[in-house]
A and B are shown apart, each in its own frame.
Chain A
Amino acid sequence: MGTHSMKVFKSMILALSILGLAACSSTGDEEAAAQTADTSGIDATTAAAQRAEAERLAREREAQQRIEQAALNTKVFYFDFDVSEFMASDRDVLAIHGRNMAANSGTRVRLEGHADERGTREYNLALGERRANSIRDYLVVNGASLSQIETVSYGEERPADQGQTEASYRLNRRVEIK
Chain B
Amino acid sequence: MKNVFQILLLGFVFARAVSAADLNIEITQGIDNPIPIAIVPFTWEGANAIGEDIAEVVSADLQQVGEFRALGRANMLSMPDEAAEVYFRDWRILAQDYLLIGKINHSPGSQLVQVQYEFFDVTREQKLVGEVLTGSVEELRDIAHEISNVVYEQVTGNRGAFSTEILYVSAEFISPDLTYYRIEKADYDGHRSQILVESQEPLMSPAWSPDGRQIAYLSFETDLPRIYIQEIGTGERRQITNFPGINSSPVWSPDGTKLAMVLSKDGSPDIYVMDLMSNQLTRLTDHPRVDTEPSWTADSSSVVFTSDRTGQPQIYMVPVAGGPGGFAERLTFDCFYCAKGRFLPDGKNLVHVRRETREDNSYGIAVFNMDSQRVITLTDTSLDESPSVAPNGSMIMFATKVNGRGILDAVSIDGRVKFRLPSAQGDVREPSWSPFLN
- Chain A interface (Cβ within 8 Å of chain B)? 117-123, 125-127, 129-130, 151-155, 157-158, 162-164
The answer to whether B339 and A120 have CB atoms under 8 Å apart is yes
The answer to whether A119 and B220 have CB atoms under 8 Å apart is no
The answer to whether B202 and A152 have CB atoms under 8 Å apart is no
The answer to whether B264 and A126 have CB atoms under 8 Å apart is yes
CA distance A155 to B204 in the complex (A): 10
CA distance A122 to B385 in the complex (A): 10
The answer to whether A154 and B293 have CB atoms under 8 Å apart is no
Q: A162-B173, A164-B404 are in contact. Are A152 and B223 (CB under 8 A)?
A: yes
Residues of B contacting A129 in the complex (Cβ-Cβ under 8 angstroms): 245-246, 264, 269
Q: How large is the interface on B (under 10, 10 to 19, 20 to 34, 35 or more residues)?
A: 35 or more
CB distance from A158 to the nearest CB of B (A): 6
Complex partner residue of B292 from A125, A162, A164, CB under 8 angstroms? A125
CB distance from B282 to the nearest CB of A (A): 20
CA distance A118 to B401 in the complex (A): 11
* Total number of residue pairs linking A and B with CB closer than 8 Å: 83
Complex partner residue of B404 from A151, A153, A162, CB under 8 angstroms? A162
The answer to whether B269 and A121 have CB atoms under 8 Å apart is no
Verify if B224 is at the interface (C-beta below 8 Å from A).
Answer: yes
Main DSSP-derived SS at the B contact region: strand
Given contacts A121-B385, A122-B204, A152-B223, 8 further A-B contacts (CB under 8 A): A120-B386, A121-B204, A122-B205, A122-B293, A123-B293, A127-B290, A129-B246, A152-B225
The answer to whether A120 and B383 have CB atoms under 8 Å apart is no
Q: List 6 A-B contacts (CB under 8 A).
A: A117-B383, A121-B430, A123-B313, A129-B245, A158-B202, A164-B401
Residues of B contacting A130 in the complex (Cβ-Cβ under 8 angstroms): 268, 290
The answer to whether B337 and A154 have CB atoms under 8 Å apart is no
Main DSSP-derived SS at the A contact region: mixed
CA distance A153 to B226 in the complex (A): 12
Verify if B363 is at the interface (C-beta below 8 Å from A).
Answer: yes
Of B205, B355, B385, most buried by chain A (CB within 10 Å of CB) is B385
Verify if B140 is at the interface (C-beta below 8 Å from A).
Answer: no
* B312 to chain A: closest residue by CB: A82
Verify if B249 is at the interface (C-beta below 8 Å from A).
Answer: yes
Residues of B contacting A127 in the complex (Cβ-Cβ under 8 angstroms): 290
- Chain B interface (Cβ within 8 Å of chain A)? 173, 179, 181, 202, 204-205, 220, 223-225, 245-246, 248-249, 262, 264, 268-269, 290, 292-293, 306, 308, 313, 337, 339-340, 353, 355, 361, 363, 383, 385-386, 401, 404, 429-430
The answer to whether A151 and B383 have CB atoms under 8 Å apart is no
Residues of A contacting B293 in the complex (Cβ-Cβ under 8 angstroms): 120, 122-123
CB distance from B397 to the nearest CB of A (A): 15
CA distance A132 to B18 in the complex (A): 37
Complex partner residue of A123 from B181, B292, B430, CB under 8 angstroms? B292
Of B249, B292, B361, most buried by chain A (CB within 10 Å of CB) is B292
Complex partner residue of B363 from A118, A125, A157, A163, CB under 8 angstroms? A118
The answer to whether B225 and A122 have CB atoms under 8 Å apart is no
CA distance A11 to B313 in the complex (A): 48
Residues of A contacting B205 in the complex (Cβ-Cβ under 8 angstroms): 121-122
Q: A120-B385, A123-B313, A126-B290 are in contact. Are A163 and B248 (CB under 8 A)?
A: no
The answer to whether A119 and B385 have CB atoms under 8 Å apart is yes
Residues of A contacting B268 in the complex (Cβ-Cβ under 8 angstroms): 130
3 cross-chain pairs, A with B, having the tightest CB-CB distances, nearest first: A157-B202, A126-B290, A120-B339
The answer to whether A120 and B404 have CB atoms under 8 Å apart is no
CA distance A120 to B337 in the complex (A): 10
Residues of A contacting B179 in the complex (Cβ-Cβ under 8 angstroms): 158
CA distance A129 to B246 in the complex (A): 8
The answer to whether A122 and B248 have CB atoms under 8 Å apart is yes
Of B249, B269, B401, most buried by chain A (CB within 10 Å of CB) is B269
CB distance from A107 to the nearest CB of B (A): 18
* B173 to chain A: closest residue by CB: A162
CA distance A155 to B173 in the complex (A): 17
Residues of B contacting A120 in the complex (Cβ-Cβ under 8 angstroms): 293, 306, 313, 339-340, 353, 363, 385-386
CA distance A122 to B262 in the complex (A): 9
